Amino acid sequence: MPKITVRNILELKESGKPIVALTAYDYFTAKYIDSAGVDIILVGDSLEMVIYGSDTTLTANMDKMLFHTEAVAKATKNAMVVGDMPFLSYQGSLGDAVLNAGRFLQAGAQAVKIEGGWKFSAVVRAIVDSGIPVMGHIGMLPQSVHRIGGYITQGEDEDSSRRLFEDASSLQEAGAFSIVLEKVDSNTAKKITQNLNIPTIGIGAGSHCDGQILVINDILGLYDKFTPPFVKQYTNLKEEIIRSAKSYAEDVRNKKFPKQEG
């Protein structure tokens, strides 16, 4: 199967086939979920929370993101790899934003994601004009958690719904090829999805989006600080790890492993 391109992602919207996206941060997880046939692998700045144990994504930086993007890109044969631009890597000058976006492509990603609505449309346009596909991200913005005041659903009242619609339209206008809707009221997500030509990819934004994305550690039961209510956990690897480590410890203490030599 050839590598999934921006054109393929747009075709999925046109055909009405849901887009499947997951995060990954390391070589082998990326290899396995790529072989499962996901369309997009996002190297999310969520790694700061689910891999490094921080309370927010704000401490992710370019070095860390590029390090993980390289590992994921090396393992991914088919899915589109999207690098998540960390806090402060695109909020300064347009030149810095373009240079930082380009570094993700040099690390093997095919696109970058940035958080923010119409205020970031000039940034999106500058990056797209440099030949780099951009995925937008609106709704609950983890990099703006202190301004927003928590991980709160967005677009529930008329005013905030209208603002999100305007954000989505301006990102499309600026050249974004898709938009993540995070914790967006499902009626607002439906309206945006129905009126945009580019696909919406929801996380906690209901069933009307063109695709869905979740954090891999959440669906595998590997992150136990909190589980957002919209997550579906498909297995419990935390329990498996504890069980396996206990069995190993028991075997070593009881001299069952390694095989005893005479």
Distance CA(217)–CA(182), nearest Å, equals 17
Determine, following the binding rule CB under 6 A, whether residue 203 of this chain makes contact with ligand KIV.
yes
On whether the CB atoms of residues 150 and 183 are closer than 8 A, the answer is no
Contact 200, 179 (CB under 8 A): yes
Distance, CA of 174 to CA of 160 (rounded, Å): 21
CA–CA gap between residue 193 and residue 210 (Å, rounded): 7
Residue type, 197: N
Of residues 134 through 153, those in contact with ligand KIV by CB under 6 A are: none
46 binds ligand KIV (CB under 6 A): yes
Among 85, 101, 180, 209, which residue interacts with ligand KIV (rule: CB under 6 A)? 180
Q: Which of 48, 70, 115, 182 is catalytic?
A: 182
Judged by beta carbon, residue 4 or residue 24, the one nearer ligand KIV is: 24
Does position 84 interact with ligand KIV (CB under 6 A)? The reply is yes
By CB under 6 A, tell whether 19 contacts ligand KIV: no
Q: Which listed residue (39, 45, 185, 210) binds ligand KIV by CB under 6 A?
A: 45
As measured in angstroms, the least distance from the Cβ of 10 to ligand KIV is: 19
182 catalytic? Reply is yes
179 is a contact residue toward ligand KIV (CB under 6 A): no
State how far the Cα of 41 lies from the Cα of 241, in Å rounded to an integer. Answer: 24
DSSP string, 92-152: S-HHHHHHHHHHHHHTT-SEEE--BSGGGHHHHHHHHHTT--EEEEEES-GGGHHHHTSS-
Size of the site for ligand KIV (CB under 6 A): 11
CB of 115 to ligand KIV, least distance (A): 7
Report the residue closest to ligand KIV, judged by CB: 44
Q: How far is the CB of 91 from ligand KIV (least distance, A)?
A: 16
| Binds ligand KIV (CB under 6 A): choice among 62, 174, 184, 215 | 215
In angstroms, rounded to a whole number, what is the distance separating the alpha carbons of residues 188 and 156? Answer: 7
- Which residue number, 102 or 228, has a Cβ lying nearer to ligand KIV? 228
The 8 Å CB, 24+ separation contacts for 46-49 are: 46/84, 46/142, 46/215, 47/23, 49/223, 49/225
d(C-alpha 243, C-alpha 141), whole Å: 36
Stretch that binds ligand KIV, among 41-49, 65-73, 165-173, 224-232 (CB under 6 A): 41-49
The first and second tokens of residue 114, run together, are 């940035």
By CB under 6 A, tell whether 80 contacts ligand KIV: no
86 contacts ligand KIV (rule: CB under 6 A): no
- Least distance from C-beta 42 to ligand KIV, angstroms? 6
Angle, helices 158-174 vs 186-195, to 10°: value is 30
Which positions lie near ligand KIV, rule CB under 6 A?
Answer: 23, 42, 44-46, 84, 180, 182, 203, 213, 215
Residues designated catalytic:
182
